[in-house]
Amino acid sequence: MQTAPQTSSRRRIHYPESDGKPMAETDTHRTEMIWAIECLKRHFQPQPLVYVTGNILFYYVEDDPKKCFSPDVVVVRGVPSHLRRTYLLWEEGKAPCFVLEVTSRKTRSVDWNKKLQLYAQLGVHEYVMFDPLDEYLRHAPLQLMRLEGTKYVVASPEGDGSLLSRELGLKLLLLEGRLRFQDPATGKLLMDLSETDDERIQAEMQARLEAARAEEAEGRAEEAEEQRRLEAARANEADGRAEEAEARAEEAEARAEEAEEQRRLEAARAEKADEELEQLRAQLAALQKGRS
């Protein structure tokens, strides 16, 4: 890191918090810048000595308020991550390690010349330019440059087309024209609060849907069990009726056999009575014949 020699002065120097310039040129530029800041803040939140910010004034020469710049997205390692109104390099003692500029046709001259030279002078290890509207970096709208000595060298893409930021430990890639950060260890994309809220809401909705499906399935299972019990009861009732009908049939058959036996007995008695009557008639006829 190179800084101008420090000077002592008794006069109070005012370092403004705004340079009066707009934060971004278009909704697209502003959205990309804010998303990148919030996304990296969430990612580095567990690390108290990583400061992530953007669009605030960085003063790099003591006693000279004109020596300042306002990066779109910046990461500084080795300084506390608390909120600041401005960044005074001589007090913090650390220059940014990573700077991202959401560039455009209007800012190309500053981004490619003044800032490129200044960031190299200050020792910013990685400088990224992202042209979200493809206004002039059409062949490569996302470029990462690494500081080698006193000059920047454009980094070559990885095998998957992403750009590896050694300072962030993350991959930078474009998905449907949007800048995304990816954890190379897990392959997961980083998300800001709005995206995690959406993901949480979707997860909750999915959980509720699955709970409703489980409850519905349980209700269907209980209904099926109740139906099975009813069918079993009906089957038992039918078996009972069948047994009762069979018993009645057996009883009727027994009564029929008893009636048949009774009929045979009566027929036998009648036949015997007829035989006895014939015998009596024969005896009577014999007596009459004897008398005559």
Shared domain for 181 and 209, answered yes or no, is: no
Do 156 and 54 fall within a single domain? yes
Largest pairwise CA distance in the chain:
188
Examine the pLDDT at 7 and tell me if it is beyond 70.
no
User: Which residues are registered as beta bridge partners of 88?
Assistant: 59
Contact call for residues 58 and 211 (beta carbons, < 8 A): no
**∠ CA 90-91-93, rounded to 5°:** 65
Evaluate whether 36 touches 66 at the Cβ level (below 8 Å).
no
Q: What is the pLDDT of residue 2?
A: 47
Do the domain assignments include residue 158?
yes
Of the ranges 49-63, 124-138, 189-203, 230-244, which is most confident?
A: 49-63
Q: Above pLDDT 70, what percent of the chain? A: 85
Average pLDDT on 177-204 reads 74
Predicted confidence (pLDDT) per residue in 198-237, tens digit: 555 455 545 555 665 677 677 777 887 888 888 887 878 8
pLDDT at residue 21 above 80? no
Give the confidence band of 29 by pLDDT, cuts at 50, 70, 90: confident
253 plus 273 within the same structural domain: yes
pLDDT at position 275 over 50: yes
Of 190, 225, 259, the position where a domain reaches its end is: 190
Domain boundary among 154, 172, 190: 190
Among 143, 162, 190, the domain-final residue is 190
Structure tokens at 58: 């960085």
Are 50 and 165 in the same domain? yes
| Mean of pLDDT values over 153-164 | 92
Instruction: Indicate whether 19 belongs to any domain.
Output: no
Strands 151-154 and 98-102: unpaired
Within 8 A by CB and 6+ apart from 121, the residues are 2, 150
- Ramachandran bin of 124, using left for φ above 0, alpha for ψ from -120 to 50, beta for the remaining angles: beta
Gap between the Cα atoms of 11 and 241, Å rounded: 112
Which of residues 45 and 192 earns the better pLDDT score? 45
Distances in whole angstroms, Cα of residue 200 to Cα of each of 128, 204, 205: 31, 6, 8
- DSSP calls for 22-85: -S-SSHHHHHHHHHHHHHHHHHHTT-TTEEEE-SSPEE-STT-TTSEE--SEEEEESS-----S
Domain that holds residue 197: 192-292
The residue among 113 and 223 whose pLDDT is bigger is: 113
Q: What is the CATH number of the domain that holds 89?
A: 3.90.1570.10
Residues 256, 277 within the same domain: yes
Instruction: Judge whether 95 and 124 are in contact, CB under 8 Å.
Output: yes
**Least confident span in 60-64, 77-81, 174-178, 208-212:** 208-212
- When divided into structural domains, the chain yields a total of 2
* The pLDDT value given to residue 120: 95
| 46-63: average pLDDT | 94
Q: Is residue 9 scored above 50 in pLDDT? A: no
| For residues 50-54, average pLDDT | 96
**Each residue's pLDDT tens digit, 81-98:** 999 999 999 999 999 999
User: Which residue's entry shows tokens 């014939």?
Assistant: 278
pTM tops 0.75, yes or no: no
When the pLDDT of each residue in the chain is averaged and rounded to a whole number, the result is: 83
Question: Are 136 and 200 contained in the same domain?
Answer: no
Quick one: pLDDT band at residue 124, thresholds 50, 70, 90?
A: very high
In a domain? residue 7: no
* Contact of 186 with 178, CB cutoff 8 Å: no
Same domain, 34 and 149: yes
Between 151 and 202, whose confidence is greater?
A: 151
